[in-house]
């Protein structure tokens, strides 16, 4: 671990100084419908702050959609507050964003003051935070938080290590997607402190019966062109499942770029996965949805959204429109 150990005045101390001098209430906000990586990051950060004498609540908006994610929260005893449980939030409260950045489509702008962001996504809206640690080349936000423990010589409790390793595993698809050296180093460190039996218990049930409809739609509707697979997986598929079904399409031998989408109230949501070295999922979906919606993300995983009005304007030609746009975009590469 000596290689990755840095001096004690790492990034974390800067954040601690800023918030302890402020005297404000501290909230750690995850993106809406939080996934394991955002929950683990928030949980780890909460412990680090507590270790420095700072109390912070973890908050979010939306639902915890996947069964395995709610199992993680339950088995590790992580305390999360839905925004409906914080009716007294004020504009003076300090918000630290984890696994997300202000202005992104997947996070609600709460009334509190977003003073910090710790994230691994690309930046779309440049914000002047008091503190920021944004590293798009890192596979999981959990790895950044884990590094804070190492840099600051904070002993990591077993539950925190278990949460962080699960967050790291899910965001990097078991170290097979968008992995950086930091992720590998942190995985190695976390593996020795985590409760592997508990981790296996969390991972045991990845699917619920009601999820099967989305899979069945993907199987029924998938169309494959060269190495690209595209599927409409039906209405109202939860965001978290959308990504999982995109991973499923990607697991086909024939597919190296997967695009799945689901319509819901308000518009159509997209999930994109890429395993080729020459394509970029974020850039592709941004190009494909240009003019009718928005999209972006990492080279290996990205998302997009088309508002209802734009989707309705296309009507029954929506699918062929998207398909053609993707084929055009791929031709450009």
The answer to whether the CB of 246 falls within 8 A of the CB of 273 is yes
Residue 171 makes contact with Mn ion by CB under 5 A: yes
Instruction: Report in angstroms how near the CB of residue 35 gets to Mn ion at its nearest.
Output: 7
In the complex with Mn ion, the residue whose CB is nearer, 76 or 306, is: 76
Of 171 and 256, the one with the shorter C-beta distance to Mn ion is 171
From candidates 25, 26, 37, 164, binder to Mn ion by CB under 5 A: 37
> Is residue 232 a contact residue for Mn ion (CB under 5 A)?
no
Asked if residue 270 lies in contact with residue 249, where contact means CB atoms within 8 angstroms, the answer is no
CB 165 to Mn ion: min, Å:
14
Instruction: Quote the least distance from Cβ 141 to Mn ion, whole Å.
Output: 5
Binding flag, residue 231, Mn ion (CB under 5 A): no
Least separation in angstroms between residue 229's CB and Mn ion is: 23
Distance of CA 290 to the CA centre of its chain: 23
Q: How far is residue 296's CA from residue 35's CA, in Å, rounded to a whole number? A: 18
Q: How many CB atoms lie within 10 A of CB 45?
A: 24
The answer to whether residue 301 forms part of the interface with Mn ion (CB under 5 A) is: no
Residues 11-30 that bind Mn ion (CB under 5 A): none
If one counts every other C-beta atom within 10 angstroms of the C-beta of residue 69, the result is: 21
Decide whether 305 or 318 has the Cβ nearer to Mn ion: 305
Residue closer to Mn ion (CB basis): 230 or 242: 242
- Binding-residue pattern over the window 76 to 115 for Mn ion, x denoting contact by CB under 5 A: -----------------------x----------------
| Residue facing Mn ion at closest CB distance | 37
Q: Which residues contact 110 (CB under 8 A, 6 or more apart)?
A: 27, 29, 59, 61, 83, 89, 95
**CB of residue 173 to Mn ion, shortest distance in Å:** 12
Q: Supply the minimum distance, in Å, between the C-beta of residue 99 and Mn ion.
A: 4
Exposure string for 197-217, b = 16+ CB within 10 A, e = fewer: ebbeebbeeeeeeebeebbeb
255-283: string of b/e by CB count within 10 Å (b at 16+)? Answer: bbbbbbbbbeeebbbbbbbbbeeebbbbb
Q: How many Cα atoms occupy the beta-carbon half-sphere of 12 within 13 Å?
A: 24
143 versus 258: smaller Cβ distance to Mn ion = 143
Task: Specify the DSSP element, H or E, that contains 13.
Answer: helix 11-22
Shortest distance (Å) from residue 260 CB to Mn ion: 19
Q: Which is nearer to Mn ion, 37 or 159 (CB)?
A: 37
# residues near Mn ion by CB under 5 A = 4
Rounded distance, CA 253 to CA 245, Å? 15
DSSP for 92-137, written as a single string: TSEEEEES--TT-TTS---SSEEEEEEE-SPPSS----SEEEE-TT
Nearer to Mn ion, 65 or 99 (CB): 99
Which of 37/65 has CB closer to Mn ion? 37
* Distance from C-alpha of 11 to C-alpha of 55, rounded to nearest angstrom: 19
141 contributes a contact to Mn ion by CB under 5 A: yes
CB of 191 to Mn ion, least distance (A): 19
Site residues (CB under 5 A) for Mn ion? 37, 99, 141, 171
């Amino acid at each position: 671990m000596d290689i990755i150990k840095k001096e004690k005045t790492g990034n974390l101390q800067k954040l601690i100084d800023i918030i302890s001098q402020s005297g404000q209430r501290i909230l750690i906000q995850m993106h809406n419908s939080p996934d394991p990586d955002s929950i683990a990051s928030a949980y780890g950060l909460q412990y680090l702050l507590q270790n420095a004498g700072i109390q912070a609540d973890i908050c979010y908006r939306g639902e915890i959609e996947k069964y395995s994610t709610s199992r993680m929260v339950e088995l590790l005893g992580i305390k999360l507050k839905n925004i409906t449980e914080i009716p007294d939030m004020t504009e003076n409260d300090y918000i630290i964003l984890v696994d997300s950045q202000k202005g992104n489509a997947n996070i609600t702008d709460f009334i509190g003051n977003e003073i910090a962001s710790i994230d691994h996504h690309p930046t779309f809206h440049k914000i002047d935070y008091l503190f920021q640690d944004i590293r798009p080349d890192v596979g999981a936000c959990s790895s950044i938080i884990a590094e804070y423990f190492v840099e600051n010589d904070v002993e990591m409790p077993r539950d925190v290590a278990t949460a962080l390793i699960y967050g790291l595993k899910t965001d990097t698809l078991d170290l097979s997607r968008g992995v950086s050296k930091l992720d590998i180093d942190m995985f190695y460190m976390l593996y020795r402190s985590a409760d592997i039996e508990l981790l296996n218990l969390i991972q045991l049930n990845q699917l619920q019966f009601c999820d099967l409809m989305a899979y069945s739609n993907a199987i029924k509707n998938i169309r494959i062109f060269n190495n690209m697979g595209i599927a409409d997986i039906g209405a109202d598929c939860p965001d978290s499942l959308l990504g999982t079904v995109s991973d499923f399409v990607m697991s086909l031998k024939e597919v190296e770029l997967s695009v799945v989408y689901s319509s819901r109230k308000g518009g159509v949501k997209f999930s994109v996965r890429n395993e080729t070295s020459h394509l970029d999922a974020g850039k592709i979906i941004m190009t494909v949805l240009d003019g009718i919606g928005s999209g972006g993300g990492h080279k290996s995983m990205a998302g997009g959204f088309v508002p209802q009005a734009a989707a309705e304007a296309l009507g029954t030609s929506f699918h062929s429109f998207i398909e053609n746009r993707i084929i055009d975009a791929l031709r450009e590469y």
